[in-house]
Amino acid sequence: MNSVVIAGFKRSPFTFANKGALSKIRPEDLLSQVINDLVNNSNVNTEDIEDIIAGCAYPEGAQGYNIAKIVSFMTNMPTHVAGMTVNRWCGSSMQAIHNGVGNIMMNAGKVFICCGIESMSFVPINGLNFSPHPVLINENPNVYMSMGDTAENVANKYNLSRKDQQDFAIKSQKKAHKAYESEHFKNEITKIIIKNDEVSQDGCIRPNTSQEILDNLKLAFNQKGTVTAGTSSPLTDGASATLICEENYAKKNNLNILARIKSCAVHGCSPELMGLGPIEASKKALLRANLSIKDIEIVELNEAFASQSLACMKDLGISEEIINLDGGAIALGHPLGATGARITGKAAQLLKRENKKYALATQCIGLGQGIATVLEAI
């Protein structure tokens, strides 16, 4: 069976939706620039690319009309390169990677661009025309529960205080700022050109975040709860892309291999506790890789909320020392469809940088799901 590797990773800066530096750029232009940068830096022959698989949580409006194929025309791809948009909500671009892996293992192509896009400025959360099923929303309203309310449920279930969550958020901000100061983002970020301007830095990092500042924030979802905007990932615009290849192809063509993809998994959970999705998805992926959590030395866990991150860490037995070394989504932002490819590419990059053997990338998904990918150094 064909082995599959990550042979490239790029992302745009992540900036606040509606008010950040990327709020005016169309999502097609944003994703196109990231893909162009990925291809140019990897030296892959575009004639060998089978498909562009793009994850998007809200594939409508400017993100609709099969944005994956749209960007093929904007990136000078050969006509034969296909395009498919996939939606597993927050896990969409990690799912794009999983789709590419499956195709390669089935001999249905050797090279895939697996990417993600979300402009939460152009298409807001819940989309442009939210229309819940009238029977289902009455019979099972938890299906449509807001993500913030699920974060409160997780905090209650695991007895996580506001201070616990704020401690976690502060650490995320500090790690992200340290990574920026150390130029750890330099090689992964694509400079985005908007007319005569250039955007080259993340816009959501708040290095001065403190307990005092977070104490003064209003509760965001439940006035008797513990979750605030400071312990939640912000609404964000961004794009990310990975180059997924058959391992022998990558070696034959002297591509820069970051990591081998060892296993993949998804798992459903109760929608009102959607933040716990990574727990069973990670266990399943580890089992398929014939590994345990003790074998994992790098973890990229998407920080949708501090509460669900802490709960997953506790349940899985993940040490703080190995998680989100360069900060997570609370600091960097969470452009829904782009996050999965970012954390998978980042985990692969960190394996190489830190000289470690195994990594886990995992995230929760709205409606009650988790997704996970195990990586192995080469």
Q: Which residues contact 109 (CB under 8 A, 6 or more apart)?
A: 50, 51, 100, 103
Which segments in the chain show pLDDT lower than 70?
A: none
Residue 76: predicted pLDDT: 86
Distance CA 378, CA 376 (A): 7
Is residue 115 part of the annotated active site? The answer reads no
Is residue 312 part of the annotated active site? The answer reads no
Residue 1: predicted pLDDT: 78
Catalytic residue among 98, 177, 184, 334: 334
Is residue 80 part of the annotated active site? The answer reads no
| HEC per residue, 210-247 | CHHHHHCCCECCCCCCCCEHHHECCCEEEEEEEEEEEH
Q: How many residues belong to the chain?
A: 378
Distance CA 100, CA 111 (A): 8
Residue 77: predicted pLDDT: 97
The continuous run of DSSP H or E covering 67 comes out as helix 67-74
Residue type, 251: K
Farthest-apart Cα atoms in the chain, separation: 59
Q: CA of 349: how far to CAs of 284, 343, 363, in Å?
A: 23, 10, 18
User: Please, are residues 263 and 292 in contact by the beta-carbon 8 Å criterion?
Assistant: no
Task: For residue 332, give the nearest of 212, 121, 189, 155 by alpha carbon.
Answer: 189
The DSSP secondary structure of 246-295, one letter per residue, reads EHHHHHHTT----EEEEEEEEEE--GGGGGGHHHHHHHHHHHHTT--GGG
CA angle 375, 98, 64 (to 5 degrees): 135
Residue 79: predicted pLDDT: 96
Catalytic residue among 56, 80, 90, 267: 90
Q: Which two tokens stand for residue 235?
A: 């609404």
- Over residues 45-80, the pLDDT tens digits come to 999 999 999 999 999 999 999 999 999 999 989 999
Q: What is the pTM of this model?
A: 0.98
Instruction: Please name every residue paired with 246 in a beta bridge, in sequence order, or none if there are none.
Output: 4
Distance CA 156, CA 296 (A): 28
